[in-house]
A and B are shown apart, each in its own frame.
Chain A
Amino acid sequence: MKNKILLILAACSLGACTKLDQKVYSVVPNQNFWQTPDQIAAGIVPAYAQLANIPDGNFQNLQETSSDEQVVPARGSDWLADGQHIQLWTHTWTSQTQQVRDTWTDLYAGIGKINFILGIVNTLDPKPDGLDKINAELKTLRALYYYWTMDLYGNIPLVTDFNTNPNTVTNSPRTDVYNFIVKDLKDNIDLLNDEVSPNTYGRVTKWTAFSILAKLYLNAGIYTGTTHWPEAIAMCDSIIQSGKYSLQTNYYDNFSQNNESSVENIFVIPFDHINIAGNNYQTQNLHYQNNINFQLSSGAWNGFCSNAEFYSHFDTTSVYTVKGPNTYRTFLDARSGQYLIGQQFTPVFTYPPNTNVLVASTEPSLKIKDAQTGKDLSFYGNITEISNPADTFRLAGLRNIKYFPNPGTQVSMNNDVPVFRLADILLMRAEASLRNGTATSTDLDYVNSIRARAYGGDVSHNWTMVDLTLPHILDERARELAWENHRRQDCIRFGTFGNARTPNKAKDADGHWQIFPIPQAQHDANPNLKQNPGYPAF
């Protein structure tokens, strides 16, 4: 008996009973994936996943709240959030500001995933079909992430291999990053798909690459000190002249719940209220009690807004009609309807938001009241302080509803978010031509096509060559492209970024605010990183 037990023990210690094999159930070991074309396709798309963060706070706040477009006042303690939104508006952010910290990881996670996927797909045996196209698509998407990261943070680490030793990563000068992105885009552009169809919806195409290049060349003077106006014009022309895109008849159809049918959007981030969360613009913007007139199925947060100064760029000329006790307003410039102004009423707000907006009623019961203060729910744009605990301050700021929320919307919306669209490219073409001294009637026509669309086809609001000036272009961009994450870049390019603003923003003492600091958390994890000029050194 004793011997038998000893034998069992001996046998155990030798092998069979000491095998630590482990079954993997709900996740798949990397080496067992990548077996079929469908699996390869599903393994590549996480490269796009980081895009879903673009509308959701961090990136959006850096690009908009630091400009004159968006302000997030502290309504008492509400939206104080450790002062981060005030820091962005007043240009007092630090390397520890939350959005500065998290936008970095949002974007670099996209770059890191692409580096990882590139490492895998290029070592698969057998080689996947269309590997060259896969590489081109991934590298172009990586260039988009790098363009944004470089645009925001300037001198950033350039890593193209996932297996890079983390202890060797350090900053590259902004010019080097710029040159790398331009080269990577040019090297791959001919391999990209030029088809515009459901197959390429939400995917990087040749036209996406041209758009990124156009942005890079348009801002090259800011990024590198050397302008590239002709190249910017050429990139815009490649898109415009391809005939692949045209202006959508109704401005709001580019942003609506069903905007996948837009013929104008060049590259979008697809969202779905069930399957792809991340577009919650309406939750950020609307007031808690807007769930009454927008019939939201989850409460909004009463945060982001624009002030009267920004809205003054809009043409608010309107036609009013009276039906029974109610007065309805229709804006001549459709784009002016993207903001909620004044009293909110209980009837359901209809799409599109520029026509037949209920703005007055002799029936008092139709007025929505702020539940917490009992005051009439009436938005005003004249924000005189960045922070105020007064009960009226809950109603401060005009609310953007460009991404129109349909009834029943919960936190996540269905509206896809355009990254690049034709109207932007047309305005960029006109701007580059003006700056290059080569503006012609073609540029004027491009701008007027946008204006005519805004005025419902009415050409009486068109510009003449005299109107085609840089300040006018900047204002047109404000009207056309608000809430599309371009404003900071535009303000820097037009030299208005450092201006004093109401409320509470003093003029920037120097230009170092034009790029954000390297986040403290990244320096903590990687002491090789150097801080950007103008910020306290690590």
Chain B
Amino acid sequence: MTTTEHPAPARGAVALGGLWFGFLAGPAAWTLQELVGSAITSHECFPRIFPLAAPPMEGMRGLLFGVSLFAIVLCVAGTAVAWRDWTRTRAEHHESTGKARQHAHPAALLETGEGRTRFMALSGVLVSVTFLIVVIANSASIFLVRPCPGQ
């Protein structure tokens, strides 16, 4: 391009697969936890047309906790990968704007947003952390909420 820098000068510093993993790991973990958790508890507590006082499956809470633990690990992994990519692309928005090491504008708050790689990495951090919070809250409910109405 004649008048612009490449929008992702740091694209060689991180793998695209890692950026996507950071972005998608959290939502995938939460989806797994919510769908598996709600399907198992719904079916165990209300298998046909009458609700049960207690789930017939022994160790249901343990199973749900196992799934939740896996979801938490996935979210943490997503956060870690995204964070690593973010730190590796720290200089990108300076490079892509052609203003080496100088902040773009005194009025800019939070970030100026230049650098596609860094944008994707920061997005991964935000998404992973948010879904980590949701997954931890859902995990807590396994111990705080009774699974079936009568128990």
Same assembly: no
Q: Which A residues are within 8 Å of any B CB, using their own CB?
A: none
Which residues on B are within 8 Å of A, measured CB to CB? Answer: none
